[in-house]
Amino acid sequence: VRLPAKNVYYYRCPEHHKNYVMSFPFAFDREEDTYWFAYCFPYTYSQLQEFLEGLERMNYPFFCRETLAKSVQNHSLDLLTITSPENLQPGTNVKVVVVTARVHPGETPSSLVCQGLIEFLVSDDPAARSLRDLVVFKIVPMLNPDGVVVGNYRCSFLGFDLNRHWHDPSIDKQPTLCAAKQLVMEFNRTESTTVDFYIDLHAHSTLMNGFMYGNVFDDQARCERQAVFPRILCAVAEDFSLENTQFNRDTVKAGTARRHLGSALSEHTLCYTLEVSFFSHTSPGLPHRALPYTMEEYLFLGSNLGRAFVEYYRLYPKNTFARESGQQARSIHQPALPTVRPLCSFHAAQNREE
């Protein structure tokens, strides 16, 4: 149950040194009940395991689940491979898309977006079948299982923000991160494998909608090529914001997956962070009204991410941009490119969680 907005107050409190306080009234009217309060929709490690076990029971020939590593607390780091079996034959030249989620344990919407992507990729949708025939998807749905299990918001069991250690992960302190990085770098070294994308899924506590962070390069052509995929996702998903999408080389983010892999992988690889609001999105018909996200809408953004890959690889009929919502989709040739510029101002930095 979502608390009504009219009952939630957020203000600077003189009694707390003018720090911000959030308060809300609530009546505990049933003594026999247990009450839980959550910042956003919960998504636990157990939920993920149940979801993946259900997929395994389907015995899809194009789906494989394996344990990539064990965490400090001995939880499994799951690795999913979704592709047509023919793509896994030795020596086959393949395109690889790597997707990771939940490096920050409290960012539960990222798990729902990831689940929506997975459900689309294993579906009977003809576009999903075409995508499986062309691309090998490698998905790590929960990079920080220990942090999720113990209930941390941002850190691992040992107190590390894993998304600041991609440049030099420790096998003892950050084993899941170390394994994920080794996986991606091995794909990058393999001659028959082309890593087309690395996308890291997150949730954001201040900005609305879904949006992306990308990298800034001295090569203008590379910058412009990187700006294409966000335009495609904006054409497919009406809750994706080009206005909030930014490209930067902020030094504070040097240890993030997006920044580090953007420089460590081939120039061909497109590296992004995909953020989605914890709270709300706008609608084309109501651009100034905040609409609270539902679990179904987070899942739908994940499926639309899959459809954006279909558009990127031109697997739909030419000039087809169909949203399931029934609204006419924008052509990717219509919106202007998002501005490619470094974010150096304090105002920009304070909104960039990643």
Of 150, 149, 151, 175, whose CA–CA distance to 162 is shortest? 175
Cα dihedral angle (120, 122, 124, 125), rounded to 10 degrees? 30
SS3 label, residue 294: coil
Extract the tokens encoding 176: 């899941």
Residues in the chain, total? 354
Rounded Cα distance between 311 and 332, Å, is: 10
- Specify the residue for token string 């689309």: 120
Rounded Cα distance between 222 and 262, Å, is: 11
Residue 268 φ/ψ region, left for φ over 0, alpha for ψ in the -120 to 50 degree band, beta for the rest? alpha
SS3 label, residue 119: helix
Extract the tokens encoding 187: 């794909």
Identified catalytic residue from 56, 86, 243, 275? 275
C-beta atoms surrounding 289 within 10 Å: 10
Please give the angle made by the CA atoms of 328, 333 and 334, to the nearest 5 degrees. Answer: 60
SS (H, E, C) 38-63: CCCCCCCHHHHHHHHHHHHHCCCCCE
User: In this structure, what DSSP letter does residue 336 have?
Assistant: P
**Which residues does residue 199 pair with via DSSP β-bridges, in sequence order?**
99, 272
265 with 235: CB under 8 angstroms?
A: no
53 is catalytic: no
Of 184, 161, 158, whose CA–CA distance to 253 is shortest? 161
Exposure string over 95-132, b if 16+ CB within 10 A, otherwise e: bbbbbbbbbbbbbbbbbbbbbbbbbbbbeeeebbeebb
Residues with a catalytic annotation lie at 275
